[in-house]
Structure 1
Amino acid sequence: ELKVQELVEGFDQETSAVVMARLASLKMEVE
Protein backbone atom coordinates (compact mmCIF):
# COMPACT_ATOMS: atom_id res chain seq x y z
CA GLU A 1 0.00 0.00 0.00
CA LEU A 2 2.82 2.40 0.85
CA LYS A 3 4.49 1.78 -2.51
CA VAL A 4 1.24 2.46 -4.35
CA GLN A 5 0.71 5.69 -2.41
CA GLU A 6 4.26 6.80 -3.20
CA LEU A 7 3.70 6.09 -6.90
CA VAL A 8 0.46 8.08 -6.88
CA GLU A 9 2.09 11.04 -5.13
CA GLY A 10 5.01 10.98 -7.56
CA PHE A 11 2.59 10.78 -10.50
CA ASP A 12 0.60 13.74 -9.17
CA GLN A 13 3.76 15.83 -8.84
CA GLU A 14 4.85 14.89 -12.35
CA THR A 15 1.41 15.65 -13.77
CA SER A 16 1.33 19.02 -12.01
CA ALA A 17 4.74 19.89 -13.48
CA VAL A 18 3.57 18.96 -16.99
CA VAL A 19 0.33 20.94 -16.63
CA MET A 20 2.19 24.01 -15.37
CA ALA A 21 4.68 23.73 -18.25
CA ARG A 22 1.83 23.52 -20.78
CA LEU A 23 0.04 26.51 -19.27
CA ALA A 24 3.29 28.49 -19.30
CA SER A 25 3.96 27.63 -22.96
CA LEU A 26 0.38 28.50 -23.93
CA LYS A 27 0.64 31.82 -22.10
CA MET A 28 3.90 32.57 -23.93
CA GLU A 29 2.25 31.78 -27.28
CA VAL A 30 -0.77 34.00 -26.56
CA GLU A 31 1.37 36.93 -25.43
Structure 2
Amino acid sequence: YRLLAMGSEHALISLGAKTLLKGIKDSIGS
Protein backbone atom coordinates (compact mmCIF):
# COMPACT_ATOMS: atom_id res chain seq x y z
CA TYR A 1 0.00 0.00 0.00
CA ARG A 2 2.77 2.39 0.91
CA LEU A 3 4.59 1.64 -2.34
CA LEU A 4 1.42 2.33 -4.31
CA ALA A 5 0.95 5.63 -2.50
CA MET A 6 4.54 6.62 -3.23
CA GLY A 7 4.10 5.68 -6.88
CA SER A 8 0.96 7.78 -7.32
CA GLU A 9 2.54 10.67 -5.42
CA HIS A 10 5.56 10.52 -7.74
CA ALA A 11 3.24 10.44 -10.76
CA LEU A 12 1.40 13.52 -9.47
CA ILE A 13 4.70 15.32 -8.88
CA SER A 14 5.98 14.59 -12.38
CA LEU A 15 2.66 15.56 -13.90
CA GLY A 16 2.77 18.84 -11.96
CA ALA A 17 6.36 19.43 -13.06
CA LYS A 18 5.47 18.82 -16.71
CA THR A 19 2.51 21.19 -16.46
CA LEU A 20 4.69 23.82 -14.81
CA LEU A 21 7.39 23.47 -17.46
CA LYS A 22 4.80 23.71 -20.22
CA GLY A 23 3.39 26.87 -18.65
CA ILE A 24 6.86 28.40 -18.41
CA LYS A 25 7.64 27.53 -22.04
CA ASP A 26 4.31 29.00 -23.13
CA SER A 27 4.96 32.28 -21.31
CA ILE A 28 8.47 32.53 -22.74
CA GLY A 29 7.22 31.69 -26.23
CA SER A 30 4.38 34.22 -26.24
Shorter chain as denominator, the TM-score bin is: over 0.9
What TM-score does the superposition give when structure 1 sets the normalisation length?
Answer: 0.90
Aligned residues: 30
Q: Which runs of 5 or more residues in structure 1 are unaligned?
A: none
CA RMSD of aligned residues (A): 0.4
Q: Could you state the TM-score of these two structures normalised by the residue count of structure 2?
A: 0.93
Which segments of 5 or more consecutive residues in structure 2 lack a partner in the other structure? none
* % same residue: 0
